[in-house]
Chain A
Amino acid sequence: MLSKREWAWGYLLIAPMALGLAVFYLWPIAQTLYLSFTESGVFGGYTWVGTANFAELLGDEEMLGALGNTLLYAVLVLAGVPLSIVVAALLNVPGLRGLSVYRTLYFLPVVTMPAAVGLTWRYLFNGDFGAINHLLGKVGIDGPYWVGDPDFAIYAIAIVGVWSTIGYNAVLFLAGLQGIPRPYYEAASIDGAGRLRQFFRITLPLLTPTTFFVIVITMINALQVFDLVFLMIDLKSPALSGSRTIVYLFFEKGFVQNQRGLAAAIAVLLLGLILVLTAIQFRLQKKWVHYE
């Protein structure tokens, strides 16, 4: 007797959200797919151009450059993931006091708006007045023009990218660490394994499900990086060739040069890239992730 009424309630309660998702998510996806096959006029209107946008992008120096920069950024940010594991392991040391203070401090960059973070680091990286080159100078290194030189800009941005996600990832890893049963360690202790050995033998393998989750999330976020780059590198900067990311190019084409069709094609390519790389990750996980 409850089933019919329960159906109605079910539909009623999901209706607002479903409607909103249809209007602001599903319809836009379809529309973007369509637009990626069109060219937009300077003052409005779209004309069907088939696959011309994709052909243009795949041979375009800027797009290929952006693809390369984005992938390099993603690799660099992923290389920073072990740092979060170390931080989480330290926070997990038994008997450590002040855990919540440390957690707050490490989390500060995560809760600060990326626009403000980008501006701060842009100043720290300044070739002449920046604190980073000043500190490097103290140890005899003549620091580069980090954000002015296309050869260094993406590294500078990646350093900020790592810095601003360490806290977030460490929290995830800490939760993972706390899920590892104590008896494993006690047994290892009895066998005479030192703490470092326990870390590599027990902690890392049992942490792999969390590690996998963090890697996938970090990668997806890295492939969509925009805020930091936009605040650290001006639209007219010569360093843009070495630091323009895919989403930056999307913004440039779509909302600076008003080439919406081309921008839609960039977004579609980004979707493809994310799907392919995520699928590869899921394929590879079988080889290294230990599920209990």
Chain B
Amino acid sequence: MSRRPRTWPAHVLLTAGALVMVAPFAWQVVVSLQTLPESLRVPPKFTPSWQWSNFADVFRTVPLARQFLNTVVVTTAVTAGQLLLCSLAAYAFARLRFPGRGAVFMLFLAVLMVPAELFIIPRYEIMQGLGWLNTLQALIAPGVFGAFGTFLLRQFFLTLPKELDEAARLDGANPLQIYWHIMLPLVRPGLLALGLLTVMWSWSSLLWPLVVNTDPEMMTLSAGLASLRGQFQTNFPILFAGSVVASLPVIALFVVLQRHLIAGIAFTGSKG
């Protein structure tokens, strides 16, 4: 390297941009600790007044604790299901040979192209038929299946050397054993990326939960926030208290595990 490039102009620009990225969150936290009249002040008041009662209010008026638990349960179940089912299918598509493999895989890919709105009405009627409206399994069941996860993990399985299966097979292991004992540990980065992406999507998803669970006790946080909006109109301190509670866990998870999530996303880009 001939000369060391200056990095301060990049720092200035990146910091300015980062401020724009972060300011709305900071502002949300501040307002969640103000009273309603303070939040309506002109010019805006930029300091909190530690109105913790907003948080108490939001927990009292909507079953927020319950919705939080619902979201945790749904997200965990969906993520666990996705990891298991996607990795099974992905392993089969990548490492086993069977007639129709290509055709079935194309069908999986085709599903990936179709916008989610096409699934909603029939799924709603399936749930209605099963008597599953307003239940958590209505949120979990469609979520554990995904063409994207299968596709993503297949890419990871494809990168593993062929000798691995052959050696294991000579030792008398069957494909399920190979999958579990040999392959799965090797695609851990892929599983982690898919897991994090699934947590993120499942935690935030709005349209399906909004449609299928209308009982506040059975809502997830996303739909709960939407109905909180309906209830409190533009009472922002209360709405923001709810928002902060709802978005904090995923933000925390991301800050801790960001390296893996970002690696996963970058991977989808390079293989797209």
Contacts and interface: CB of A to CB of B under 8 A. Distances in A.
Interface string A105-144: 1111101111111011111101011110010000000000
B41 interface: yes
Contacts of B226: 115, 230-231
B203 interface: yes
A106 B261 CA distance: 14
Given A105-B22, A111-B251, A255 B211 contact: yes
A104 B14 contact: no
Interface in A153-202: 163, 166-168, 171-172, 174-176, 179, 189, 195
Contacts of A9: 92, 96, 98, 174-176
A16 B85 CA distance: 7
A214 B269 contact: yes
A24 B29 CA distance: 39
A7 interface: yes
Q: Which of A21, A114, A126 has the most CB of B within 10 A?
A: A21
A172 B176 CA distance: 34
Interface residues of A, number: 103
B203 A128 contact: no
Contacts of B211: 251, 254-255
B9 to A, nearest CB: 9
Contact of A167 (B11, B21, B113, B174): B21
A35 B121 contact: yes
Nearest to B200: A111
A111 B25 CA distance: 12
Given A129-B39, A175-B269, A231-B226, A112 B251 contact: yes
Contact of B225 (A116, A129, A224): A116
Contacts of B176: 9, 13
9 contacts: A20-B85, A21-B147, A95-B5, A107-B262, A123-B234, A166-B21, A175-B270, A213-B272, A260-B121
Given A14-B92, A113-B221, A129-B44, 5 more contacts: A120-B243, A131-B44, A251-B207, A255-B211, A274-B113
Interface of A: 2-3, 5-7, 9-11, 13-14, 16-18, 20-21, 23-29, 31-32, 35, 86-87, 90-91, 93-98, 100, 102-109, 111-117, 119-124, 126, 128-131, 134, 163, 166-168, 171-172, 174-176, 179, 189, 195, 210, 213-214, 217, 220, 223-224, 226-227, 230-231, 234, 247, 250-251, 254-255, 260, 263-264, 266-268, 270-271, 274-275, 278
Closest 3 pairs between A and B when the two form their complex, measured CB to CB: A20-B145, A10-B98, A175-B266
